[in-house]
Chain A
Amino acid sequence: MSKNITAKNLNVYYGDFLAVEGINVEIAKKSVTAFIGPSGCGKTTFLRTLNRMHEVLPGARVEGQLFLDDDDIYGPGVDPVTVRAMVGMVFQRPNPFPTMSIRENVLAGYKLNGARLSRSQADDVVEGALRGANLWNEVKDRLDKPGSGLSGGQQQRLCIARTVAVKPDVILMDEPCSALDPISTLAIEDLIAELKQEYTIVIVTHNMQQAARVSEKTAFFNIAGTGKPGKMIEYDDTSVIFNNPSNEQTERYVSGKFG
């Protein structure tokens, strides 16, 4: 399962402060889309509105519409819990639940649906998710050990496995490699390439080479100055953004003149 994402005139506010303004974007299913831009330009904020995680902060709200295929996730009566079960998220720092074993971590989200699993069904889910996250061979002998005992890169893949286990339609990644070493980063990037066969993936990254390597489409965000809202400046095929951008700001950013 995988879904298209469409944002229409989306504004994000923190209280009275307009953080992100006027986003219009269409993200195709089974693709990888990268958000790049300088710090504080609203790319993470926008990413978090895609599964309503911004609502964790008091006073954060959204105007406009955001469709998963044909359903507005900000429509009246929509429970953010439902949205988050369909749109998974991987965070900047790996965050497996420290009190749970590797196995329990993978099943954590799955159990939320209230599904009663037999032992063998649970084993299948665990194995499937860990294989899907390229982690199975490394951890299959220590599934009952705590997830926090793994290396940073393995923890991040465990978090991806946990996300994949609930079979979402979209996976959001918020700088998933920024706390990882280059080898673990490579492992995650390989994994992203595999995951896009099944899922719509949106990734925020500060690493422009990474955006160029993993994504098909890239959106460049920028901010006019402190206190001004962030905007999506340009959205196009990754090759166009990096080689032949139409906007001058994008050109200056990708060529390393600022940011």
Chain B
Amino acid sequence: MTPDESQTSVKTSQDTRAGRKAAKKASSDQNNLVSKDKAGAGVDRGFALLAKFAGIFILIILAFVAIFLTYNSFEAIYREDEGLVIGRFLSYAWPLIVGTLTVSIIALCISAPVAVGVALYISHYAPPRLSKSIGYVIDLLAAIPSVVYGAWGMVFLSGYLANFYVWVHEWFSWIPLFAGTPSATGRTVFTASVVLSVMILPIITSVAREIFIQTPKLHEEAALALGATRWEMIKMAVFPFARAGIISGIMLGLGRALGETMAVVMVLSAGSFTWSIISSGNNTIPAEIARNFGETGDGTERWHQLIAIGLVLFIITLIVNMVARWIVSRNKEFSGAN
């Protein structure tokens, strides 16, 4: 609650109190207005309280998670017998951080253009009936459980991509990303990225579609009346209007990709760090935690490291969100929100 709001609520309660006093005084004068709507005022106050509680509740949960993570992370970098062991933790953490970011960013690079294209097709190109059914199918993609995606990626997709990796390696092995021995099973970082990209596609698409549909007719017609083609109209009127929405959609997708666990656990045959995205190896933070947490004894250094790496993921997601907000709020003057 902002100070502003709390002030007003204090004021209201004083007002009602003063009102009641006045009501007692004035009852002899028969002023009917003063005593009216007492029940309504009670409900009003009750609701304000409820809303306040709900707001605080979220903060408390967030604080608990943050405190739990921070408290338990400490022993990952400080052991009582050895002192500071930051170096050991870092050498454990960095491949996982790089792996997580690589998988997510590749997924985003595949997904974002496709999602924006699909959203545009639904909102501005497809005939109304078709656009409805396409939108429905895209939303269905979001309803598929991640285990199913994992199974699909592991059994079906990886087999096909394995042949592709051999080909890529043959021609592009001079690029470090395609340098290592191509995985025979195809269960690599790139395969995991492809699976993730399908999983985040519906999120980005639906956010982008919603915002594209809201483009003011006024601006679309302004562009058309100047002699713009449909694509030029989209560039002039739709994209500038939807920019913030597209970015927040992409960030939502990135958030999902960063945190996705099950699909990565199943698809990726994890291993030590390698720059190659077509060899087996690498791992992501959530997959690492999921694979090992159950088998690690409470309070061991490994256990603390797993918690600490979770905190790192938490911070990365936080930074992603803050950057997204910053991008959205930049150039507010030109946003059209005024």
Contacts and interface: CB of A to CB of B under 8 A. Distances in A.
A91 interface: yes
Interface string A104-127: 000011001100000000000000
B224 to A, nearest CB: 6
B335 A99 contact: yes
Contact of A108 (B218, B226, B333): B226
Contact of A56 (B224, B232, B241, B336): B224
Contact of B222 (A82, A95, A99, A149): A95
A163 interface: yes
Given A81-B228, A99-B241, A148-B338, A56 B221 contact: yes
Contacts of A148: 336, 338
A99 B334 contact: yes
Contacts of B127: 58
Contact of B218 (A84, A88, A95, A112): A95
A129 B76 CA distance: 67
A99 B226 contact: no
Contacts of B333: 146, 149
Contacts of B240: 97-100
A93 B217 CA distance: 11
B236 interface: yes
B265 to A, nearest CB: 43
B227 interface: yes
B27 interface: no
Contacts of A99: 240-241, 243, 331, 334-336
Interface in B302-320: none
Interface in B192-250: 216, 218-229, 232, 236-237, 240-241, 243
Contacts of A82: 227
B331 to A, nearest CB: 8
A51 interface: yes
B40 interface: no
A88 B226 contact: yes
A84 B237 CA distance: 17
Contacts of A159: 222
Contacts of B221: 53, 56, 89, 91, 95
A163 B128 contact: no
B229 A81 contact: yes
Interface residues of A, number: 31
Nearest to B333: A146
A95 B243 CA distance: 19
Given A95-B222, A159-B222, A85 B236 contact: no
Contacts of A101: 334
A88 B128 contact: no
A89 B225 contact: yes
A99 B127 CA distance: 29
A99 B338 CA distance: 11
A84 B225 contact: yes
B225 A53 contact: yes
Contacts of A53: 221, 224-225
A43 interface: no
Interface in A18-75: 51, 53, 56, 58
Given A58-B128, A97-B237, A108-B236, A84 B334 contact: no
Contact of B226 (A58, A98, A112): A112
Contacts of B226: 84-85, 88, 108-109, 112, 162-163, 166
Contacts of B219: 95, 97-98
A112 B222 contact: no
Nearest to A94: B218
B128 A112 contact: no
Contacts of A146: 333-334
A230 B43 CA distance: 54
Contacts of A96: 222
- Residue in A85, A88, A108 with the greatest tally of chain B CB atoms within 10 Å: A108
- Residue in A53, A88, A99, A101 with the greatest tally of chain B CB atoms within 10 Å: A99
Interface in B236-294: 236-237, 240-241, 243
A112 B232 contact: yes
A25 B222 CA distance: 26
Contacts of A84: 224-228
A85 B336 CA distance: 25
A104 B128 CA distance: 33
Nearest to B222: A95
A236 B333 CA distance: 48
23 contacts: A56-B224, A84-B225, A84-B227, A85-B226, A86-B227, A91-B221, A91-B222, A91-B225, A95-B216, A95-B218, A97-B222, A98-B240, A98-B241, A98-B334, A98-B335, A98-B338, A99-B331, A101-B334, A108-B236, A109-B226, A113-B227, A159-B222, A162-B226
Interface of A: 51, 53, 56, 58, 81-82, 84-86, 88-89, 91, 93, 95-101, 108-109, 112-113, 146, 148-149, 159, 162-163, 166
Listed from nearest, the 6 A-B pairs whose CB atoms lie closest are A98-B336, A85-B227, A109-B226, A99-B240, A89-B225, A95-B218
Interface of B: 127-128, 216, 218-229, 232, 236-237, 240-241, 243, 331, 333-336, 338
